[in-house]
Chains A and B, each alone.
Chain A
């Protein structure tokens, strides 16, 4: 394949290389956009599935029947929840009746910075579930707040919040056993569970006084 290279004048040469580069750009942009279009539904579906999986960990799918991901409220940065940025609150309903609120909260005083939580609180005020979504606690020491890292697989530490409610659990009972409350902890790592327990209690208090309002807001559609 050795064709003798033709002589080009400088402008012709410039035009030719520009044209070839242009063709390459068009071809590969077309390839990219085709792959993007083709894969988008699958990628969106799996992103959605991942979100739903996390939400269903704090609230079982059988406890609601509405489209959770569309029945939302945008929360402004809320100091009571430890949130310094806007977040999304999900409203679960069953048969049109309020079932639970799912929202994020942050424990600002973990052993190694902020601990991000996802909390579901039922319409009767009891905690449906709590999950840690982000933390930097010491691996092997404070990270048992994450069920995946908790050695007790049957009833991970974080599940002891399930079912707690302000009506049945007085304020002091929301503390660690060491601090006179009811929450168990692992010896040697108390800063982490204390921060989580406090954040969950704060979140329950926050939701309790504005539950009706949150369920009603903007849902006249």
Chain B
């Protein structure tokens, strides 16, 4: 894999094709779990593991999967891998499983995994597919962290609610004054939709601004050469 390929995959995962902001995939678990940073990050971590594994498995087997039955085979592979990850976590990393465990079955309801398998891993070599899975997951991670932070700040005035479940020595931070009454809508699904909408609008605005700048930039030499040729 070249450096260029790597940065393209990374940019796609983190920003351009961000699963939550651009592809709008897997909104059901996303909205259910993003009530605070800790939950959101936990779901994203579980997703990264499963996506990397599913992508590498499908990419390795892609030449053996007939096109007509690829979807059932992908579902079979993803479902089997989620179960395997669930079992292995439970048996080998039980401490982590207690914290992360409830999020792993949630991934089954998440179409991100199947979408990446179909759109990327089925057409690319295993290494690139693994990187794609990891960066798609990281894109989900920062989106869920920001969305979770906004929701819990709005809903309860706190940050890192539930961190003591992961690191018993840490405790949540009270950001707004303790007598902040809390805006319940932040914690409810409509609040999640509204805030996700704001984030998508923000991303589109950033993209539009970047496109605007690119247009206004003085034409590059190659473009000049092109027009000169055309004029001649």
Known contacts A20-B66, A39-B90, A39-B91, then 15 further A-B pairs from the complex at CB < 8 Å, ordered by chain A residue: A16-B66, A17-B66, A17-B68, A24-B65, A25-B76, A28-B76, A31-B84, A32-B83, A35-B83, A35-B84, A38-B91, A39-B92, A40-B91, A42-B91, A43-B90
Considering only CB atoms and an 8 Å cut-off, how many residues of chain A contact the other chain?
A: 19
B73 & A21 in contact (Cβ 8 Å cutoff): yes
Task: Give A5-55 interface residues, CB cut-off 8 Å to B.
Answer: 16-17, 20-21, 24-25, 28-29, 31-32, 35-36, 38-40, 42-43, 46
In the bound assembly, the distance between CA atoms of A43 and B80 in angstroms comes to: 18
In the bound assembly, the distance between CA atoms of A32 and B88 in angstroms comes to: 11
Closest Cβ of chain B to A54, distance in Å, is 13
Q: Which 10 A/B pairs are nearest by Cβ-Cβ distance?
A: A39-B91, A42-B91, A28-B80, A39-B87, A46-B94, A35-B84, A43-B90, A17-B69, A43-B91, A24-B73
In the bound assembly, the distance between CA atoms of A31 and B91 in angstroms comes to: 16
- The answer to whether A220 has its CB under 8 Å from any CB of chain B is no
- The answer to whether A1 has its CB under 8 Å from any CB of chain B is yes
Closest Cβ of chain B to A11, distance in Å, is 14
In the bound assembly, the distance between CA atoms of A77 and B77 in angstroms comes to: 43
- The answer to whether B72 has its CB under 8 Å from any CB of chain A is yes
Closest to B77 in A: A28
Interface residues of chain A, those whose CB is within 8 Å of chain B, are 1, 16-17, 20-21, 24-25, 28-29, 31-32, 35-36, 38-40, 42-43, 46
A-contact 0/1 string along B34-71, CB 8 Å cutoff: 00000000000000000000000000000111101100
In the bound assembly, the distance between CA atoms of A4 and B83 in angstroms comes to: 37
What are 26 A-to-B residue pairs whose CB atoms are below 8 Å?
A: A1-B63, A16-B66, A17-B66, A20-B64, A20-B66, A21-B69, A21-B72, A24-B73, A24-B76, A28-B77, A28-B80, A29-B80, A31-B80, A31-B84, A32-B83, A35-B84, A35-B87, A36-B87, A38-B91, A39-B88, A39-B90, A40-B91, A42-B94, A43-B90, A43-B91, A46-B94
Closest to B63 in A: A1
Q: B87 contacts which chain A residues (CB < 8 A)?
A: 35-36, 39, 43
Closest Cβ of chain A to B88, distance in Å, is 6
Q: Which range holds the interface residue count of chain B?
A: 10 to 19
In the bound assembly, the distance between CA atoms of A31 and B53 in angstroms comes to: 14
Closest Cβ of chain B to A53, distance in Å, is 12
Closest Cβ of chain B to A28, distance in Å, is 4
Closest to A149 in B: B164
A32 & B92 in contact (Cβ 8 Å cutoff): no
Q: A25 contacts which chain B residues (CB < 8 A)?
A: 76
In the bound assembly, the distance between CA atoms of A142 and B88 in angstroms comes to: 37
A42 & B92 in contact (Cβ 8 Å cutoff): yes
B84 & A32 in contact (Cβ 8 Å cutoff): yes
Closest to B67 in A: A17
Closest to A25 in B: B76
Q: B72 contacts which chain A residues (CB < 8 A)?
A: 21
In the bound assembly, the distance between CA atoms of A68 and B77 in angstroms comes to: 41
Closest Cβ of chain A to B82, distance in Å, is 10
